[in-house]
């Protein structure tokens, strides 16, 4: 049982969430870097965000460095900052929040829409995951069918070359300015159309429409909507319950109440 000291307001919210989840069947968790922050990884935007520093050492914005055009025009620069993200993932383990979401599958039909590219949801045991931005550990050649899953980038020469055709290798992640991959996008649309009894936005600033829209649709349908984020976002004044607290503690408390 979680023994975290929550504020009285948070305890009331947790009780209301528990009451609504007692009759729920399908639940969606939308997760961002704020969830993995409890595994020791930095966030991207918001409190302590990697993208809050402005220009990189090279004088370009981080969104430009981590973009599709930069991967094409200056792959060494793009890979430099991709490698920083992978280095932040290295050695990280699923935290209590990841595990709580996975364990809720014992009682609910749980789906996870994650912006994170760290693979921690799968390692925690979640089985219905939509990795909308990909996984930094999956590599593919930009020319031929070669692909590989790697544990980390420690043995990679950056930028890496394909062992089969010597073309540029890149990770299976969505860079700035690139289209979302069609398969996970179709999966998301299908599940949202089926509807959810509850939608949780956890540790994300919800700046992308496809991340905010499932929450907005659930709210319009009368489903439970919850935001777990220490900071304020465009969804904070819209959801049924806003909990300004760390994600891992809150998710573990929700799991414990449903046991």
Q: Which residues does the annotation mark as catalytic?
A: 133
CA distances from 259 to 21, 22, 57, 108 (A): 12, 10, 49, 12
Among the listed residues 60, 210, 35, the one whose alpha carbon sits nearest the alpha carbon of residue 130: 210
Are 221 and 213 spatial neighbours (Cβ–Cβ below 8 Å)? no
CA distances from 173 to 3, 10, 208 (A): 37, 35, 16
- The dihedral over CA atoms of 66, 72, 74, 79, expressed in degrees to the nearest 10, equals 50
For the packed helices 247-258 and 96-103, what is the interaxial angle rounded to 10 degrees?
30
Write the DSSP string, 5-37.
---HHHHHHHHHHHHHHTT--EEEEEE-HHHHG
């Amino acid at each position: 049982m979680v023994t975290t000291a929550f504020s009285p307001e948070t305890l009331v919210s947790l009780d209301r969430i528990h009451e609504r989840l007692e009759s729920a069947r399908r639940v969606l968790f939308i997760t961002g870097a704020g969830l993995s922050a409890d595994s020791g990884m930095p966030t991207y935007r918001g409190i302590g965000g990697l993208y809050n520093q402005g220009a990189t050492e090279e004088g370009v914005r981080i969104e430009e460095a981590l973009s599709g055009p930069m991967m094409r025009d200056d792959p060494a620069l793009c890979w430099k900052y991709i490698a920083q993200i992978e280095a932040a993932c290295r050695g990280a383990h699923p935290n209590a929040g990841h595990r709580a979401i996975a364990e809720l599958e014992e009682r609910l039909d749980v789906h996870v829409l994650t912006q994170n590219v760290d693979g921690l949801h799968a390692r925690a045991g979640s089985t219905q995951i939509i990795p909308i931005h990909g996984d930094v550990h999956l590599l593919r050649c930009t020319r031929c069918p070669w692909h590989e899953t790697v544990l980390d980038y420690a043995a990679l020469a950056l930028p890496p070359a394909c062992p089969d055709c010597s073309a540029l290798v890149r990770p299976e992640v969505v860079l700035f300015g690139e289209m979302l991959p069609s398969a996970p996008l179709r999966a998301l649309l299908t599940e949202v159309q089926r509807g959810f009894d509850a939608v949780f936005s956890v540790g994300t600033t919800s700046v992308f429409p496809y991340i905010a829209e499932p929450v907005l649709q659930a709210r319009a349908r009368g489903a439970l909507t919850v935001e777990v984020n220490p900071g304020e976002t465009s969804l904070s004044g819209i959801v049924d319950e806003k909990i300004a607290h760390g994600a891992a503690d809150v998710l573990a408390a929700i799991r414990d109440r449903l046991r």
